[in-house]
Chain A
Amino acid sequence: GESVGLHLPTLSVQEGDNSIINCAYSNSASDYFIWYKQESGKGPQFIIDIRSNMDKRQGQRVTVLLNKTVKHLSLQIAATQPGDSAVYFCAENIGDSSASKIIFGSGTRLSIRP
């Protein structure tokens, strides 16, 4: 069945350090993954996505790595800032543009130590 899951429910990092949030998925046919950030009182906000034909994608201060062999992906945040405090979800978008839906993992709460 469909399943994405995060390894740790919480993660605490020192401000300025890099953060790494890990996620595993179960369906080897999965081909489109998204990372969302949810701040308190807001809805999930798109951060970055990656397709199965790639193993790495970079954005502004964020990098997503996909390892299809072990069905694992990770989100790396460089030079973590207080504004990065949020719950991070890895998610899978299944279907196509006419009938897709997002399967969310359980989320990792990232907290920043000053």
Chain B
Amino acid sequence: EAGVTQFPSHSVIEKGQTVTLRCDPISGHDNLYWYRRVMGKEIKFLLHFVKESKQDESGMPNNRFLAERTGGTYSTLKVQPAELEDSGVYFCASSQIRRGQGNSDTQYFGPGTRLTVL
């Protein structure tokens, strides 16, 4: 079974440009999460999709970030316009929904996209 995949693995852009990151979750996983780690900081939650719906987007830093999951399969995270402080590693994770078992969804992470904004 393929794991979570992310594209691209690296992206270098200039300040003010737009970048779109893609995540393909494990097949059959309805939960999809985005996290990021900026320089020197912990990995931070950005948002959570259940199928195509945004369940929790409390971690999104500002309105320059737009996440979509049309059709409930892969997801994209667009940064427009990118700023220097957006540099970091963006991780995607997915999990199955397990009803009746509380917070028991094991999240499987992709390799991340390293974003560098110059």
Q: Which residues of A contact B (CB under 8 A)?
A: 32, 34, 36, 41-46, 49, 89, 93-107
Contact = CB atoms under 8 A, between A and B. Distances in A.
Interface in B11-55: 31, 33, 35, 42-45, 48, 50, 55
B55 A104 contact: no
Contacts of A104: 35, 42-44
A45 B109 contact: yes
Nearest to B59: A101
A99 B48 contact: yes
Nearest to B114: A41
Contacts, number: 71
A100 B105 contact: yes
Interface of B: 4, 31, 33, 35, 42-45, 48, 50, 55-56, 59, 91, 93, 97-99, 101-112
Given A43-B111, A44-B43, A101 B99 contact: no
A102 B59 CA distance: 11
Contacts of A107: 42
Residue of A34, A45, A102 with most chain B CB atoms under a 10 A cut-off:
A102
B49 to A, nearest CB: 11
B4 A97 contact: no
Given A42-B111, A44-B43, A104-B44, 7 more contacts: A49-B106, A97-B103, A97-B104, A100-B103, A102-B43, A104-B42, A107-B42
